[in-house]
Structure 1
Amino acid sequence: MKLAAWLLAAVFATPVAASPASDVTAQAKALMRAGTASQPQARALFEQAAGQGSGPAAYYLGLMFKNGMGGPQDSAGALRWLELAAQRGVAPAMFIVANLLQDSDEARARYWLDAACDLEYPEALQQKSVALAEGRMGYAHNEEQSFLYLKMATHAMGHRSDAP
């Protein structure tokens, strides 16, 4: 409880309008993790930072919409924010968008999975390995390529980037 009060005090002590999008995103992440009472404010701050061009803010906002954190669950809103984050180069967003689109738009799903693979996102490399082994998602069955992507995924797991 004291942590949440401290986090709220820190947020209100800093003028949000003067903060760069990355500072607002960091404040929003702290609020999101502080508990359900502060999640609506986190959602608003993420939206502000995403509007200022922050890919990570759009990513976290998409997750909040997807999971109903800080407001109602909204699958269409989640996809919109996550795809915006993906367009801004956030690899985990690319991976989630690929999975959200897998049943409805295979070509777009494959595009985002390939984009996440290009950034060496481990889960994307692993998923592409499986898709190649099984000939799914529009990929031709290719055991050799599947093995290569599995090796790349294993390597990437050891060199994982920080969270956005």
Structure 2
Amino acid sequence: MKRVLVTMLAALLLAQPAMAQHGDEGDSALRRGLAYRSNGDAALAAHWLSVAATRGVPEAMFILANMRLEGEGVARDEGEARRLLEEAAQMDYAEAWQQLALMEKDPVKAAQLMRRAAHALTHRGEGKR
């Protein structure tokens, strides 16, 4: 009986969403930012995504970087966008690696970045993230 309970507890802990590792504040800020963005308030969305990014949520870093690239709710700033993407990529966020590859002018470096993105996706699929 103990083994069954321990196994069930371990399965429950492993099944937690990837966002849970960033804490409730980061997750809450991310959800708030996404809600404001979907309701058309890009400035408020950028604020809450920035809060989530500061708390280490790579998805928020990625979205905020793309908002920076487009000037959506914030001043257009390619340098800040790149910094956010690089920070998210260092957390092995596949979409950030891919975006950096698409921004890269050197085809050899772009291919390396795409391989990093593919590698990160492989690990996400294996649940190692």
Unaligned runs of 5+ in 1: 1-51, 133-140
Deviation, structure 1 residue 60:
0.6
Which of residues 88, 98, 113 is equivalent to 1:126? Answer: 98
Counterpart position of 2:54: 87
Work out the number of aligned pairs and report it: 99
1:63-94 deviations in Å (ceiling 9; x for gaps): 000002xxxx3110000000110111000000
Counterpart position of 1:107: 79
Aligned partners of 1:76 and 1:143: how far apart in 2? 35
Question: What residue identity is the alignment partner of 1:58?
Answer: A
Question: What residue identity is the alignment partner of 1:158?
Answer: T
Deviation, structure 1 residue 128:
0.7
Aligned partners of 1:87 and 1:144: how far apart in 2? 32
The answer to whether structure 1 residue 74 and structure 2 residue 29 are counterparts is no
Taking structure 1 as the reference length, what is the TM-score of the superposition?
0.56
Q: Secondary structure, in 3 states, of the residue corresponding to 1:159?
A: helix
Taking structure 2 as the reference length, what is the TM-score of the superposition?
0.71
- Structure having the higher helix fraction is 2
Question: What residue identity is the alignment partner of 1:156?
Answer: A
Deviation, structure 1 residue 53:
6.8
Q: Which structure would you say has the larger RCO, counting Cα contacts within 8 Å and 6 or more residues apart?
A: 2
Aligned partners of 2:124 and 2:45: how far apart in 1? 25
1:1-164 superposed matches below 5 A: 54-68=25-39, 73-103=40-70, 104-132=76-104, 141-160=105-124
Question: What residue identity is the alignment partner of 2:83?
Answer: Y
Q: Secondary structure, in 3 states, of the residue corresponding to 2:56?
A: coil
Deviation, structure 1 residue 158:
1.4
Greater than 3 Å deviation, 4+ residue runs: none
Unaligned runs of 5+ in 2: 1-22, 71-75
Question: What residue identity is the alignment partner of 2:92?
Answer: E
Q: Secondary structure, in 3 states, of the residue corresponding to 2:84?
A: helix
